[in-house]
Structure 1
Amino acid sequence: MKVSKEYLKFHEYNIEGSVENKWRWFKNSIGALDGIHIPVTVSAEDRPRYRNRKGDISTNVLGVCGDSRVLRDALHRQNCKYFLVDAGYTNGPGFLAPYRGTRYHLNEWIENTPKKYKELFNLRHASARNVIERSFGVLKKRW
């Protein structure tokens, strides 16, 4: 199963202003990475291969998204490159996850301000990583 250009429209765009500001805290970041299960319809004989841990029939999609300028810049640098990932991943070479046990999701910040450095980091991390969540939302609406 492949997702091709027939189903997705790619647009050239220029990131400026507040969105660009979100990435400045993560200068060596390549982008945001996340996985999602998308429900699929398959033949009865293929269902066991597509059954996820919750018992649903789906395909697991790993997606990467980011500002194309950040990506181009990161690929030309010789220093560390990494992806912003959610708490489902662990910190390690190439992955930068948020602090666990600290507020993270953007809706938790409504009318609140960070009080500790870990909260500030998580707020900035969530703001930058939100690009992959929005991209998956657009992808899921296609079906």
Structure 2
Amino acid sequence: MACPFINDPVDEGAALLRTELNIRREIVFRPRIDVLAFPDSYLFERYRFTSQSITYIHNLIRPYIHFTNHSHALTSHQMLCVALRFFANGSFLYNVGDAEHLSKATVCRTVRKVCLALKRLLPIFVVFPGHKPVRAIKEEFHRIAGFPSVIGCIDGTHIPITAPSHNEADYVNRKSIHSINVQIICDAAYIISNVEAKWPGSVHDSRIFRESNLSNRLQRGEFDGLLLGDRGYPCQPSLMTPYPDPEPGPQQNFNRAHCKTRARVEMTIGLLKARFQCLRHLRVTPERACDIIVACVVLHNIATIRGEQHPAVQFEDPDDDLIHLPAIQDGRAVRDIICNNHFGV
């Protein structure tokens, strides 16, 4: 996609005058900022990472960032910091450029390069059901509310985007906002173990899961464990949803434990959006928006694994779909077994 911020508005009269008089525009090199010279509190506020983590991320992506040897060109370290600043504050590119003493065009190209480099790290940092043994993942979930055999919690979240020029109606969600509908699965430690960031906002959560590769793998029995989802998903043997009208006793106990455990994915999504304010609204094409979302997911996992400070989380209205899907027979049977064996009075 052509960068929408490359061409600065130029006074046509001044341009013609320079051409006639053969006057060259003076090149001004503005001073560059040595980011790592600032304290970690300053870095977290503006980049969401401490100096050690910035160096760690730089070492990971440096092989995938190509930069020129021109004088005064950005180094790979500087490129990472420019992108992190954009991810963290979500402002317009010219604001990021002003803060980093760079042009809008440079910021645009830099963010794109860093996004693609981080995207290549997705198979390393986003792994289902996680980097820990499955038994450890189940135990961490079980400690929350006593729900057995959980290996992940699933939910969808909408990332607002600017109305695209092609297939605009496909991206309008049920709140009449243009968005990308992103499927997130996390573990009990707020680490994202699966992400699907390619679907327009009009697509329902259940369809995203049904057509995902992970759904097929779960149905084939590749994983020993359950996902927990809200009523926007159908209850399946490998995907437990709450009882729609729980009876007093075991069913209500089941629903309470289910809700308390599934809150981990809502918290994870809240942390992701609080850490990277750019996800509040992306002013790029859908394709580039998806790349930015994936890059932020990778960075979120790195921050969580390295114990970076959590930003203040502001919970949004739940994204639960208004459509409540019925349980399939096999899923209902598994749910009843879990309910009776683990949540009986």
Task: State the TM bucket, normalised to the shorter chain.
Answer: 0.5 to 0.7
Report the residue type matching 2:179 in the other structure.
Answer: S
- Structure 2: runs of 5+ lacking an equivalent: 1-114, 120-124, 126-130, 194-220, 278-345
Residue 25 of structure 1 corresponds to 147
- CA change 1:79–1:48 in 2 (3 A) is closer
1:92-131 to 2 correspondence within 5 Å? Answer: 92-102=236-246, 116-131=249-264
From 45, 60, 81, the counterpart of 2:225: 81
- Structure 1: runs of 5+ lacking an equivalent: 72-76, 104-114
Q: Secondary structure at the match of 2:166?
A: helix
Alpha-carbon deviation of 1:20? 5.3
1:63-113 deviation line (CA, Å, top 9, x unaligned): 000137xx8xxxxx977422011111121132101111239xxxxxxxxxx
Q: Distance in 1 between matches of 2:169 and 2:272?
A: 24
- CA change 1:50–1:26 in 2 (3 A) is same
Alpha-carbon deviation of 1:128? 0.9
Q: Which has the higher helix share?
A: 2
Residue 107 of structure 1 corresponds to none
Q: Secondary structure at the match of 1:44?
A: coil
From 51, 57, 62, the counterpart of 2:178: 57
Report the residue type matching 1:62 in the other structure.
Answer: Q
Residue 267 of structure 2 corresponds to 134
1:36-63 deviation line (CA, Å, top 9, x unaligned): 2121125433533422234210000000
Residue 109 of structure 1 corresponds to none
TM-score of the two chains, using structure 2 as the length reference: 0.29
1:8-33 deviation line (CA, Å, top 9, x unaligned): xx8x9x99xx9751264222x21101
Q: Distance in 2 between matches of 1:90 and 1:67?
A: 22
Residue 34 of structure 2 corresponds to none
Which has the higher relative contact order, 1 or 2, with Cα contacts under 8 A spaced 6 or more apart? 1
Identity %: 28
TM-score of the two chains, using structure 1 as the length reference: 0.63
Quick check: 1:40–1:58 contact (8 Å CA) kept in 2?
Answer: yes
Task: From the CA coordinates, give the structure whose radius of gyration is larger.
Answer: 2
Tell me how large the CA RMSD over aligned residues is: 3.8
- CA change 1:96–1:24 in 2 (3 A) is same
Quick check: 2:146–2:257 contact (8 Å CA) kept in 1?
Answer: no
Q: Which has the higher strand share?
A: 1
From 166, 171, 174, the counterpart of 1:45: 166
